[in-house]
Every structure is written in C-alpha cells, then in structure tokens.
Structure 1
Amino acid sequence: MLPVLSFVSLVFVCNINAGNLPEYIQRCDLEDKNFVECVKEKISTTLPYFTKGIKELDVPPLDPVKLDDIDINGNGLNLSFTDANMYGISNAVITNLKLDIGKDDETFSLQFKSNMTLMAKYVINGRILILPIQGKGDAKVKANNVEVQIDSKLSHVKDKAGTHFRLVTPIYKYNIEKTTFQFDNLFNGNKRLSDTTHEFANQNWRQLMDDLSPPYIKQIVKTCVKAINKFFAKFTIQEMVKNYKEN
C-alpha cells in the first residue's frame, strides 16, 4: 500500500517558519551526492510519525487506510466487503528509491514491501473454482510480503504563496507472496464445512486476490497521493527543498 507515496514529502522539508512543524521532519541537501540515500534514510525514520497523521498540516492518518466498499462479481463468485480498513503501512520497508528533481521532467520511483491485513465485514456466495461457499460476518485477509512500486511525475502548481510540487499521473505495480483468508460464520457456523472451505480457499488464494487486489491497492495509492498533495500544498518548493533552482 504500497501505499507510502506520502513518505517522500517528509524528506524535502527544510527550516520553515512554522511553530507547529514536527521536529522529526528533517531535510536533505539536493546538491549532496548522497541525496537519494539521505531521502531513503529519512523516509524510514519519519514513516511511523507520518502514518499517524500530522494534524497541524492537515495530513490524515494512513494506518489504517479506510477503504471504500469492494464488490467482486464474476467467475461464479459474489463477494462484497464493507467497513473495510487496511493495516500495515506503518511497518513498510523501503526497498528502492529513485528521484529526479531540479530537471525539466521531475519524477520519482518508490518501491516498498510490507505485510498488510484487511479487516472488514463480508458477504460471500457462489463458488471458488469447484467448491461452494456461502457466509456473512467478519473477514480478515492477511497478505504477506506485499511489494509495491509506484512511479509518478512531479508537476508545479502556482498560487499566491508561490510554486508547489504536486504528484500527477501515478502508476503502480505490485506482487503478493502469499495470502490467507479468515471468514467468520461461513455456512452459518458449520465448522466442518468452514474448515474445508478455508483450506481450499487458502490453497487457491490467487483466484480471490486476482479480483480483490486491484481495487484495494488502487484505493491505498489514491489515499496516499491525496495526503502527500495536501502536504505539498502547505509549502512552496523554495521553502521545502534546499538548493532547489526552478527552471
């Protein structure tokens, strides 16, 4: 989830005259040859703070990410999730980072890995491959080693205060190593049928995740892009980036 684009904004911040600016937000020097490594280090340091939200900067908490309702209808299966929340972004590990700032085309690429857990209410009816499934209740979906790569352009937006960064046209790709499902109250609580169905579903987890992953990962990326753009809107580029020279 991913997820995670909002981490990058923290490392650009320099000394700003803002009394409420958290002291853990620190800067990296754009002219430093180790700038990207500095950014990566600061992301890891500030991530636990940022995912809790920064109220004074209007940045909402990102762990958990509240998801819209998800409906999957196809291949003989009807599955819906409501009241869904995704946990795990605060435990993400940055595995790769590329930044091009101060050039005509400014971009960055961020890759991270994390274990994520979806908690939601569910309603399911139909079949997983050849096995019937039916139930309604609480659901827990644990996705292990979710690796997400997000690439985005940085545009400039001008207002009365000056020029700001803004993320535009982000694209992403992802891979999931393993997923396990826990659906409470399958078959009205019939343990034998429930155990058999869970074993089969967890052995064939990719069929469910092929439909489930795209909408919820898209929502996580969308939420994080919105958060980082709120952060960028608070400060001009000159306030945020040390030794940045606008073309």
Structure 2
Amino acid sequence: MQLMLCLVLFGLFCVTTCEEEFLPSYITPCKLEDKELADCVREQIKISLPHFTKGVPEFNVPSIDPVKLDDIKIDGNGLVLTFTQAAMHGLSKSELTDLRVKIGDSDEDFKLAFKGNLSLTAKYEVDGRILILPIQGKGDAFVYAQGVEVEINSKLSHVKDKQNRTHFKLITPSYNYTIERTTFDLKNLFNGNKQLADTTIQFANENWRQLMDDLAPPAIKQIVRTCVKAINKFFSNVTIARMVKGYKDH
C-alpha cells in the first residue's frame, strides 16, 4: 500500500502539474484541464508501478516492498500468538481499483483503493488453543492472504513551512479492508512433531477467519500509517504551487 499511495502522489499531482525536472522519464504528463484526467492518471500509475519498488530517493521515499512491521501480539480467546521481525510483501503487485482526489473545493478529499495478494514473513511464538485445538511452538512463520482489498480515505489540509510556503498534508485518514482467504505455515510447531503440526495447521487454515480477526487489524493499520507518513513526507518536500499549476492558495 505504501507503494500505491506514493504512486498516487506522482500520478495525480506530479504527473499532472510538476515541472519537467521533477518527472521521471517513464511518466508522460497529463493535463489538469483534461476531461479524461482520471483515466490518464490511472494509466500513468500502472506504467509507473514497476519503477517504484526500489523507492524514490529524490523525494525521500524509501523502498516499500517489503514493508517492515512492528511486533504483532494476539492475546485473547485462550490464544497467545506473537509475531516479531515481521514484514509484509506483495504491495508492489497490487492492482489499483479506485483513485479519487478532489482539489480546489472547500472540502478537499483523497481516496485510494487497491487489491492484491499479500504475504507476511516473521518469527512467531504461540501457545494456547485455536477454538478446541491446542497449539504450541516457536519458529518461522509465513502467512499468505489472498484478495486483500484496502480502501483509504483522507482529508487534505494546508500547512505552512518555515519559509511560509504552503504544503498539502493528509489528516484524519480512515480505512477499511476485506480478505478473501488466508493460509498459515508455522514451522516447528510442537517441537517439530509433524503429525501434530500438520493437523493443527490444517485446522488453522480451515478456521483462518478467527486468527485474521485478530491478526489483520494491527497489520493493516501499520501499513496505512506507514503510507500516510510517506505521503506527508513527500508533501513536506514539495509545495502546492510546485505540484498544482494554477492552484489557488487558501
């Protein structure tokens, strides 16, 4: 998602209005007055996707696939499960499903939606029960989530820098998401007892929603937070006047 959001910044703002020196060679500028601006922006984002996986150093945007996550702990319903050294992979291959930005009105909005398959790699430690089945172990974890769709909505605010220049800033972002299917692979369950491990993993995959009800919210929240931070970092380096030609400062 961090990739997708950064692309939106370039696709909607820089692609349409920045000076030539700010445009990567693989982007063809769109015109702000174009009736088909949204379609043009969408196409430029699709073209740009492969180029943004390594980050955009000229705008202080770091590499975004994978996204490193803070530790995640699930503690409830008889289960204690902790993920450390976690990273989310696959954002760069996500498909843009919706892109809307309203600029110039009294109420300026930003909306982005994307869908893709994401995988989580981490170290795990677990003890307790999944429903009626005991589970215990410590080792490497791989979680594969199919059909993850995330929608982010935010307001656009205007802030002044030390030179009294005006910048955009995303404020009060909100989000929602859906997941079609998740599978788990936890190595070294029950100290390597394959029979117990296979039975437990099968049961976990059959009851994946119970685990994802606790695992997904903190993971998605961290991704969204990272994306918003990256966008605002970009905004802080480029003024509205630089990004939006003819934009009326408020």
TM-score tier by shorter-chain length is over 0.9
How far does residue 45 in structure 1 lie from its aligned partner after superposition? 1.9
- Consecutive unaligned residues of structure 1, counting only runs of 5 or more, are none
Matched, 1:62 2:64: yes
What RMSD, in angstroms, separates the aligned Cα atoms of the two structures? Answer: 1.7
How far, CA to CA, are the matches of 2:183 and 2:129 in structure 1?
17
Give the 3 Å change call, closer, same or farther, for CA 26–223 of structure 1 in structure 2. Answer: farther
Give the 3 Å change call, closer, same or farther, for CA 194–220 of structure 1 in structure 2. Answer: same
1:154-193 matches, cutoff 5 A: 154-159=156-161, 160=163, 162-193=165-196
Q: Give a deviation string over 1:97-131, Cα, whole Å, max 9, x none.
A: 22211111110211110100000000000000000
Runs of 4+ in 1 over 4 A off after TM superposition: none
How far, CA to CA, are the matches of 1:36 and 1:80 in structure 2?
42
Percentage of matched positions with identical amino acids: 61
- In structure 1, the partner of 2:116 is 114
SS in 1 for 2:54: coil
Matched, 1:152 2:154: yes
Matched, 1:214 2:217: yes
Preserved contact between residue 3 and residue 52 of structure 2 (Cα < 8 Å) = no
With the length of structure 2 as denominator, give the TM-score of the two structures: 0.93
How far, CA to CA, are the matches of 1:24 and 1:166 in structure 2?
26
Which of 91, 98, 101 aligns to 1:99? It is 101
- In structure 2, the partner of 1:79 is 81
Give the 3 Å change call, closer, same or farther, for CA 208–224 of structure 1 in structure 2. Answer: same
Higher relative contact order (CA 8 A, sep 6+): 1
SS in 1 for 2:35: coil
Preserved contact between residue 155 and residue 173 of structure 2 (Cα < 8 Å) = yes
How far does residue 27 in structure 1 lie from its aligned partner after superposition? 3.7
How far, CA to CA, are the matches of 1:97 and 1:22 in structure 2?
21
How far, CA to CA, are the matches of 2:18 and 2:170 in structure 1?
22
Preserved contact between residue 18 and residue 244 of structure 2 (Cα < 8 Å) = no
Matched, 1:34 2:36: yes
> What letter is aligned with 1:203?
E
How far does residue 214 in structure 1 lie from its aligned partner after superposition? 0.3
1:1-20 matches, cutoff 5 A: 1=1, 4-11=4-11, 12-13=13-14, 14-16=17-19, 18=21
Answer 1 or 2: which has greater helix percent: 2
With the length of structure 1 as denominator, give the TM-score of the two structures: 0.94
How far, CA to CA, are the matches of 1:136 and 1:191 in structure 2?
14
